[in-house]
């Protein structure tokens, strides 16, 4: 028997707005499943993609799964008089960046706002959660670890990467956490 998303919704994230930042990692494809699961849990999901993310997955995928427009550029119109990145920053309950690349983590840690996602990051007062995904050597690099420490000091939540085979062929820590692990962290953060 067929059923709608509404029939299967657990409702645990009802009335919650999640801004899902998708950055340029092969793990970006997993964010499509993450979008679906967050919606199934009742959240309204707005996806913001970096230019690099669009090298891995198209925005139409996220628009269809989220049932909302996807923010791809800083200079979008928004729904009203406010700039789009401010409008989204103001209405979100959680800024979730999954995957969070070494580059995006460095931008957040150092307050750089060169695109829509990093501008939303600086403009929001919502909770911030990151799910790092990168090569293990990049993850273990002192610069990346310093940047993650800065973000932890700001009370940002991190969903640690998993160990296993990485897209580059190496084994090690750096694979984005599972969708189930990320959703569990979101549920705990917004409880």
The CA distances from residue 83 to 23, 89, 114, 127, in Å, are: 21, 10, 15, 21
Question: Which residue do the tokens 């695109």 mark?
Answer: 115
H-helix or E-strand spanning residue 132: strand 127-132
Q: Among all residues, which ones are annotated catalytic?
A: 168
Q: At what angle do helices 116-123 and 84-91 cross, to 10 degrees?
A: 50
110: how many CB neighbours lie within 10 A of its CB?
10
User: d(Cα 68, Cα 53) in Å, to the nearest integer?
Assistant: 18
């Amino acid at each position: 028997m067929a059923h709608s998303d509404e029939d299967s919704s657990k409702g645990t994230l009802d009335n919650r707005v999640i801004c899902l930042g998708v950055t340029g990692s092969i793990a970006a494809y997993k964010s499509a499943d993450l979008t679906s699961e967050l919606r199934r849990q009742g959240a309204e999901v707005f996806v913001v993609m970096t230019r690099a993310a669009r090298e891995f997955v198209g925005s139409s995928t996220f628009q269809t799964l989220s049932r909302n427009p996807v923010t791809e550029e800083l200079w979008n119109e928004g729904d009203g008089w406010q700039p789009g990145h401010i409008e989204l920053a103001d209405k979100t309950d959680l800024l979730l960046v999954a995957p969070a690349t070494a580059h995006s983590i460095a931008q957040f840690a150092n307050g750089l706002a060169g695109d829509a996602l990093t501008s939303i990051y600086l403009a929001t007062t919502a909770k911030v959660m990151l799910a790092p995904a990168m090569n293990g050597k990049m993850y273990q690099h002192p610069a990346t670890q310093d940047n993650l420490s800065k973000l932890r000091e700001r009370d940002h939540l991190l969903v640690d990467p998993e160990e296993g085979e990485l897209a580059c062929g190496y084994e090690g820590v750096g694979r984005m956490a599972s969708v189930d692990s990320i959703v569990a962290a979101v549920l705990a953060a917004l409880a």
